[in-house]
Structure 1
Amino acid sequence: MNANNISSNQEDRFGDLVSLTLNQAALEAASNSRKFYATKANWTGIQTLYVMAQCTPDLTTADCLSCLQQSINGMPLNKVGGRLLWPSCLSRYELYPFYNDTDPRTPQVQLASPPSPISIPSSPPRISFSSPRYGKGGNPSVIIIAVVVPITAAFLLFIAVFIFRAKRKKRTVYETEPLAEGKDDITTAGSLQFDFKAIEAATDKFSQSNKLGQGGFGEVYKGTFPSGVQVAVKRLSKTSGQGEREFENEVVVVAKLQHKNLVRLLGFCLEGEEKILVYEFVPNKSLDYFLFDSTMQSQLDWKRRYKIFRGIARGILYLHQDSRLTIIHRDLKAGNILLDVDMNPKVADFGMARIFGIHQTEANTRRIVGTYGYMSPEYAMYGQFSMKSDVYSFGVLVLEIISGKKNSSLYHMDDGVGNLVSYTWRLWNNGSALELADPSFGENYQTTEITRCIHIALLCVQEEVDDRPTMAAIVQMLTTSSIALSVPRPPGFFFRSRHEQQVGNAVLSKDMSALCSVDDASITSVAPR
């Protein structure tokens, strides 16, 4: 263990980054055949965190993951580096590359093969003495040491194996249902990992009558445990090659998030090919269930909708700023907003989320994930994402909540068609923004309030990243009417008419416009232009 500590004002943030990155490495190592994984994460602009997790190849996925979690939980995370060798696994982190960065899959530390998981020298080390010999038998002290040292080593090895087997046996007793309210600690392996048979029984063997919906990587079921506790069970598809990555990401990201506007992860199950996430049960389904159904829209009056997008804003602000780590959601949409019994919103589905380092503000990717229509132009076209990407998605979501219309649909305008963002921009420029309001409101809304919300949404969907406000500024705008709002600039993915001369970087061809306007499904593997 490195004796140097991280500075006190950065301890919590560094500890969280180490914990999440180590746990991600543990999940990757447990799920591959080599039982080894190494990765790195940005810490500061000039420092990178390097981590490694490794098990002996004989361990099952569940036992390897359990062993590594014990190793991680027993290691101080406020040092500039550390490692902990458990009988059959090893975890390590440093602020310098201690493995071959060009091929991080190559193990740098070899763990002993069973049945002797700890490598013990075959003979005791040589001990030299400068004192003279005593007779034919040599020095009696040397003889005593030569006998005692191997016996002591063998005894210590026996104790270590005994303790390991006892703890291993204890760890195989997984949770059969969520712990009582106020007693759960989701940062520990015991309360995170559930027994598959208990989940299967809670969902009545994943019966169709308990099916709540289907996402990009699997199906969601309602589960009820013998104690009466209800949960939402997300069962990843066995045929989804990308599902495993999203599963691991969702566990390590959501496990440490605690906010009333974020859905709460209760645990997971990783047994064989089964990869399951267990969430708190949110009874009123998702926002799109009410928003885009003409028979359900009336249940969301203006007052409730205003409350909903203010709650969403607070949840995203927590991800961006108020949690110890900066997290970019990357897939904000109506289908990923759940509503509790009081119609309070809870942001869900963190399979696409990314964690940023302490000074990191943006990133690039060749693997575009998310939903067309909600994606910012710089992300959909060039793979660049940041907190402002979530801001753009939030702006689209606010327009959908106000209008009760999907952004992916096409709307007729004077000289053509456009998506909801383009349609709103035209109404705003024509001085008729209130035409956007859902007719189901009737006269039950304040004109100034709804106009201000449309104004804020248009600020969020501006084409230029720097023009968009932060989530902190948006929350202030929504809660304090006295804050002056700047004049919005043209939005990204704006469908311009042939008479308009302004042509920005986000102008799409007719074919690309259709691609970004038709499908609500999340995508996971699209190369940017």
Structure 2
Amino acid sequence: MKSLQAIIFSFFSRISFLCYGLAIICLTSATVSTSNGSNVTDYLALLSFKSKITQDPYQVLTSWNHSFHFCDWSGISCGKRHKRVTVLWLDSQGLEGSLSPHVGNLSFLRMLSLSNNSFQGTIPHELGHLSRLRILYLDENKFSGIIPTNLSSCSNLEVLWLAHNKIVGSIPKEMSLLSKLTDLVINNNKLTGGIPSFLGNVTSMEVFSATRNPFGGSIPDTMGHWKSLTEFHSGGCNLYGSIPHSIFNLSLLVNFSLAGNHLTGSLPSEIGNQLLNLEFLQLWGNELTGVLPPSISNCSKLGLLEMDNNNFSGKLTIDFSKLRDIYSISLHNNNLHGPGEVDDMRFIDSLKNCTGLVDLVLVSCNFIGVLPISIGNLSDQLQLLGLGDNQLFGSLPSSIGNLAGLTYLDLGSNRFKGKIPTTIGKLQKLQYLNLNNNLFSGPIPDTIGNLSLLNKLYLYSNKLEGHIPSSLGNCKQLNGLSLFDNRLSGKIPKQLLQLPSLTNFLQLSYNNLSGSIPSAIKSLKMLSGLDLSYNNLSGTITSSLGECISLTELYLSGNRFEGIIPSSLSSLGGLGVLDISVNNFSGRIPQFLGKWKSLEYLNLSFNDFEGEVPVVGVFANASAFSVRGNNRLCDGLVTLELPKCKETGSKNKRFPFFILVIVIAPTLLIVLCCVYLLCKKKRNSQQSQSSGSEWFMKVSYGQLLKATDGFSVANLIGEGAFSCVYKGILDSDDDKFVAIKVLRLQNRGAHKSFLAECEAWRNIRHRNLLKIVTSCSSVDFQGNDFKALVYEFMPNGSVHDWLHSSAKTSKLNLLQRINILRDVANALDYLHNRCQTTIVHGDLKPSNILLDADMVAHVGDFGLARLLGTNLNQNSSTGVKGTIGYAPPEYGLGSEMTSIGDVYSFGILLLEVITGKKPTDDMFNDGLSLHKFAYMALQDHVIDVIDDDAIVLQRTEANAKKVEECLVAIIKIGVLCSVDSPPQRMKIEIVVNELQRILDMLQII
């Protein structure tokens, strides 16, 4: 009955459009040369198609007018006999609009291809009228709604591509009627309901790609009916259970990917004997167990093997010598140590026949053993070699220098010892070299200077000795060098300091370097961070250091520098941290130090400075500077408890001063008595404060009331569980805005939050932490307790606002997002590893990350902070611990707050910043979380989870690939930081280095 109605409707529809078309023809005096009236229907259908297009940037449809026969229109092909439209092909034309349902009237259509445009709305069910249609490409658009069920009427359909749209619902059962279908490509949509078992009835299937759909469920055994299948892609589909054994019987299978799911079980031992045509095997990011089957050796055509981030265990016994075509091997983050084995690396010998190998990533595989000499027999095409974070020992074979194609070499965090082989200098394409955290000894080989393309060199935390080779001056692209925590001696070579490329960091601390700072350092005008602390450097500070105008961090502590601070350093106005403690500096404290607006931490302690301590700028905040151990200083803030500076006038001036004291003493006594009585009266109504909160009592309630116009709603800029935050202007602050956080003391926990935040701010100072201006602990005009903290105002608001507020007209780009994440990671690294007392923030989330005028990130809100090793703010198992979605799972089980819990919160924060999705988004249910969402997208599909506003890929293939590599790397950081198991989370200091490396890569592109 429905079919008859459809026929009647189609008949009258065509009659009406025919009449309309004839009218147009008559009115325009144009002719459409036809063999019969039916192609007028095609003509009208095409005009209807055009009418639905709202944007045509390349003007591809300008030829679609009555001046030309429609068979000559752009993108149209017609049959020679009947002049009917057989092909409509408008790929990648930037078209926007909806797809006209009248396309269903093009009854002779064989191919409809509209890929890579911006069509919106639903897919018209009228497409089901196209009984001759064989190929339908609607991928890479913005189609929404469901897959039309009557597409099953396209009985000749062979290829159906609907990928990269916004299609919802489930795969309709009617799809099983498409008996000729060979290609079904539906990846990157929002399809649910699992992969249906009825699809197994389409036995003609050759390509099935459903990657990045939230299907859920298990893989049906009926997929084994697809005997002609060559490609099977269902990564990131939230699939559970084991892989059906019937799939391993599909002997024609070439590409097989189930990455980023929750699949369990082990792989069949005969997999390599069954899938002999396999070229692409991608099962990373699941929960697969057991050994990696040795039979994989028999997949002689295999090119890519990605089994990383699973639970595989046992000795690696794949014979790679049979896999001559393999180009990428990724097995990292598995436990591939053989029980009882002392040498897990013998498999390296079998890789010598893999002459096309490009990537070999074996990081964190728990390998134990020596690296065999045969490592040098690997492919000269090898670009990436990752063996870091294992337990490799012994010496590094000199044969490593044979790998002339390497651009990236990571051997960090092992137990290598002995000398770094001089042959390392043969790796002249190397851009990244990491040998940190090993036991290397002896000198740094001069041949490292041959690595002219090197960008980053990490040799820290070894036992290297001797001089820093001057040959490093030949590394003209070096932008980051880390040699700290070694036994290096001698002078700093001036050749190193003459590298204008050295812009990111130069870390030489904790060595035995001697001499003075060479004047050649003036060449490092773009260097951001310089750390020369804890060496044996001496002499005066060269005035040339003042030419390093881009410095944001300068560490010179723990040396034997002497003399005054040169006035030339006044040009370093961008410094956020200056530490020159534990030296022999003398003279007065320069006034320009108090004028630097960016300076957040200044350490002058344990020198021989004299005279008055300023009280402006950084010196106005006792927690932001230290002058301990300078016994000849005087005045300054009262909290420093320094002696008063001596009078410099003549003796005859003492008498008037004595008379003045006699005159005002009675008045002063009366005032002191009044103050005492007032304090005694208030003592019973006010809680006693810790030393931390007393230190903050600097402004009155009345001043804050005035600053905020009576705490008006118009000045309210944020609210939390314990506080409200207002924007205001203090009379004493030169009309500069401040942020005033008023505690809601009636809420349980608010007072404790205030004490925690005060104590935290007493112990911290860093350029990426929110700067506190002052505080208030008083009573309001009704006699109620009043407590507030006053912060530097952040004009660009919070990261949460930039990600989720509709009020923002612009969005954060990719570089801005990664810079923000790097800033936050730096702040955490400082709190966890560089404070005298380790501080746990406890509530890291986008609303607590604030942005200044230069979009530099500042971490704020320490209301839940905990100082480890102190009795302050010890959290009970029932206390508030973080925010839902950001707090690590162990907090919910009663665990104490730890720094590794902050790392989890940072991982979730990173994923939210990059994907634009909150961890509490409605899409995250039924076992899917933000962590799993990102985890499932790694590598193959990472571009699909990136926030659309974050990045517009450049159109060159090379740039797009490099950007995608960076995105993969950053998503991996977020995933590794937010794993459930605390010991497996990434260390924050490693996060800092990795984010900086990613930024460096993006800035090169």
TM-score normalised by L of structure 2: 0.29
1:93-123: CA deviation from partner (whole Å, max 9, x where unpaired): xxxxxxxxxxxxxxxxxxxxxxxxxxxxxxx
Q: Report the CA distance shift for 1:434/1:367 in structure 2 as closer, same or farther (over 3 A).
A: same
1:201-233: CA deviation from partner (whole Å, max 9, x where unpaired): 111111111111111112110111233132101
Q: Which of 339, 348, 373 is the aligned partner of 2:860?
A: 348
Distance in 1 between residues matched to 2:982 and 2:923, nearest whole Å? 26
2:718 maps to what in 1?
Answer: 213
Q: Which of 915, 928, 933 is the aligned partner of 1:418?
A: 928
Distance in 1 between residues matched to 2:693 and 2:712, nearest whole Å? 30
Distance in 1 between residues matched to 2:704 and 2:876, nearest whole Å? 38
1:454 maps to what in 2?
Answer: 971
Distance in 2 between residues matched to 1:245 and 1:363, nearest whole Å? 11
Is contact 2:840–2:898 with CA below 8 Å preserved after alignment? yes
1:374 maps to what in 2?
Answer: 886
Q: Does 1:241 align with 2:748?
A: yes
1:16-47: CA deviation from partner (whole Å, max 9, x where unpaired): xxxxxxxxxxxxxxxxxxxxxxxxxxxxxxxx
SS at match of 1:439: coil
1:435 maps to what in 2?
Answer: 944
Q: Does 1:253 align with 2:729?
A: no
2:770 maps to what in 1?
Answer: 263
Q: Report the CA distance shift for 1:235/1:329 in structure 2 as closer, same or farther (over 3 A).
A: same
1:252 Cα deviation from its structure 2 partner: 1.6
1:290 Cα deviation from its structure 2 partner: 0.8
The structure having more radius of gyration, on CA atoms, is 2
1:298 Cα deviation from its structure 2 partner: 4.0
1:306 Cα deviation from its structure 2 partner: 0.8
Q: Report the CA distance shift for 1:468/1:417 in structure 2 as closer, same or farther (over 3 A).
A: closer
Is contact 2:700–2:776 with CA below 8 Å preserved after alignment? yes
Q: Does 1:333 align with 2:845?
A: yes
Q: How does 1:124-273 map to 2 (within 5 A)?
A: 165=672, 192-226=697-731, 227-272=734-779, 273=785
1:463 maps to what in 2?
Answer: 980
Distance in 2 between residues matched to 1:202 and 1:482, nearest whole Å? 40
Distance in 1 between residues matched to 2:692 and 2:749, nearest whole Å? 25
Distance in 2 between residues matched to 1:219 and 1:482, nearest whole Å? 36
Distance in 2 between residues matched to 1:162 and 1:294, nearest whole Å? 60
Distance in 2 between residues matched to 1:410 and 1:421, nearest whole Å? 14
Distance in 2 between residues matched to 1:188 and 1:421, nearest whole Å? 39
Amino acid at match of 1:427: A
1:104-144: CA deviation from partner (whole Å, max 9, x where unpaired): xxxxxxxxxxxxxxxxxxxxxxxxxxxxxxxxxxxxxxxxx
Distance in 2 between residues matched to 1:271 and 1:295, nearest whole Å? 36
Distance in 2 between residues matched to 1:267 and 1:470, nearest whole Å? 33
1:426 Cα deviation from its structure 2 partner: 2.0
Distance in 2 between residues matched to 1:196 and 1:378, nearest whole Å? 40
Distance in 1 between residues matched to 2:831 and 2:839, nearest whole Å? 5
Q: Does 1:477 align with 2:994?
A: yes
Distance in 2 between residues matched to 1:482 and 1:304, nearest whole Å? 10
1:462-512: CA deviation from partner (whole Å, max 9, x where unpaired): 1211111221121112223599xxxxxxxxxxxxxxxxxxxxxxxxxxxxx
1:12 maps to what in 2?
Answer: none
Q: Report the CA distance shift for 1:434/1:364 in structure 2 as closer, same or farther (over 3 A).
A: farther
1:306 maps to what in 2?
Answer: 818
Is contact 1:367–1:383 with CA below 8 Å preserved after alignment? no
Structure 1 alignment gaps of length 5 or more: 1-8, 10-76, 79-157, 173-185, 484-529
Q: Report the CA distance shift for 1:224/1:376 in structure 2 as closer, same or farther (over 3 A).
A: same
Is contact 1:404–1:438 with CA below 8 Å preserved after alignment? yes
SS at match of 2:763: coil
1:151 maps to what in 2?
Answer: none
Is contact 2:763–2:837 with CA below 8 Å preserved after alignment? no
1:288-336: CA deviation from partner (whole Å, max 9, x where unpaired): 0111235638420001001000000001111111122100011000111
Q: How does 1:373-392 map to 2 (within 5 A)?
A: 373-392=885-904
Amino acid at match of 1:302: L
Q: How does 1:387-398 map to 2 (within 5 A)?
A: 387-398=899-910
Is contact 1:250–1:351 with CA below 8 Å preserved after alignment? yes
SS at match of 1:271: strand
Amino-acid identity (%)? 30
TM-score normalised by L of structure 1: 0.53
1:347 Cα deviation from its structure 2 partner: 0.5
Distance in 2 between residues matched to 1:297 and 1:434, nearest whole Å? 24
Amino acid at match of 1:327: I
Q: Report the CA distance shift for 1:264/1:412 in structure 2 as closer, same or farther (over 3 A).
A: closer
Amino acid at match of 2:932: S
Larger fraction in helix: 1
Amino acid at match of 2:737: Q
Structure 2 alignment gaps of length 5 or more: 1-533, 535-627, 630-664, 680-690, 780-784, 955-959, 1001-1005
Distance in 1 between residues matched to 2:933 and 2:973, nearest whole Å? 16
Q: Which of 287, 291, 303 is the aligned partner of 2:799?
A: 287
Q: Does 1:365 align with 2:883?
A: no
Is contact 1:219–1:236 with CA below 8 Å preserved after alignment? yes
Distance in 2 between residues matched to 1:217 and 1:382, nearest whole Å? 22
SS at match of 1:255: helix
SS at match of 2:826: helix
Is contact 1:286–1:335 with CA below 8 Å preserved after alignment? yes
Distance in 1 between residues matched to 2:809 and 2:945, nearest whole Å? 15
Amino acid at match of 1:355: L
SS at match of 2:953: coil
1:243-269: CA deviation from partner (whole Å, max 9, x where unpaired): 111111111211332111111112211
Distance in 1 between residues matched to 2:863 and 2:789, nearest whole Å? 11
Distance in 2 between residues matched to 1:474 and 1:243, nearest whole Å? 33
Q: Report the CA distance shift for 1:253/1:388 in structure 2 as closer, same or farther (over 3 A).
A: same
Distance in 1 between residues matched to 2:807 and 2:964, nearest whole Å? 25
